[in-house]
Amino acid sequence: MTAAPAAASTPEALTAILAQLRYTADGLIPAIAQQHDTGEVLMLAWMNRASIEETLQTGQVCYWSRSRQSFWRKGETSGQHQTLVEMRLDCDLDTLLLRVDQLGAACHTGRRDCFYRKVAGDKVIIDREPLVDPDTLYTH
């Protein structure tokens, strides 16, 4: 008789897990944002440890912008805030799943989500229209 599996559901300390995350050489980890109630996959962005901690503390999603090399507090300039509902970590500790409540458009194009291009045979089509004119998004 083999031992019972080590209690898989023993809670682990968050700080220990955050230290074990498999960040890239740049200290980043990909985070998928999913609308918590509809299941829509909204976007993928990157976080570092500080942005993860800030997100957990404030309940407002904060990414790390690779292009700007700075915190990217979602909604700070667009008003389209992302409120954290639940944070999940994957089996390999190298991806985060953020279940969020997205106000309005998650995408900088003004669309609800970023995945509006669909492969259709040998073509790629756009099958979602903006909710918001992107020219009006960044006036905050």
Please tell me the number of Cα atoms within 13 Å of 41 on its side-chain side. 9
Please, what is the minimum distance in Å from the beta carbon of residue 16 to a copy of itself? 8
Please pick, from the candidates 81, 90, 103, 131, the single residue that binds a copy of itself as defined by CB under 8 A: 90
Q: Is residue 19 close enough to count as binding a copy of itself by CB under 8 A? A: no
Please pick, from the candidates 89, 103, 131, 132, the single residue that binds a copy of itself as defined by CB under 8 A: 89
- What are the backbone dihedrals phi and psi of residue 88, each rounded to the nearest 5 degrees, phi first? -125, 155
Contact 99, 39 (CB under 8 A): no
Which helix H or strand E contains 134, and what residues bound it?
helix 134-137
Distance between terminal CA atoms of the chain? Answer: 64
Contact 60, 81 (CB under 8 A): yes
Per-residue binding letters, 37-76, with a copy of itself (x by CB under 8 A): -xxxx-xx-----------x--------------------
Please, what is the minimum distance in Å from the beta carbon of residue 92 to a copy of itself? 7
Please, what is the minimum distance in Å from the beta carbon of residue 115 to a copy of itself? 4
Closest CA to 111 of 51, 40, 17: 40
Per-residue binding letters, 117-136, with a copy of itself (x by CB under 8 A): xxxxxxxxxxx-x-------
* CA–CA distance, 89 with 98 (Å, rounded to integer): 9
Please pick, from the candidates 47, 78, 109, 112, the single residue that binds a copy of itself as defined by CB under 8 A: 109
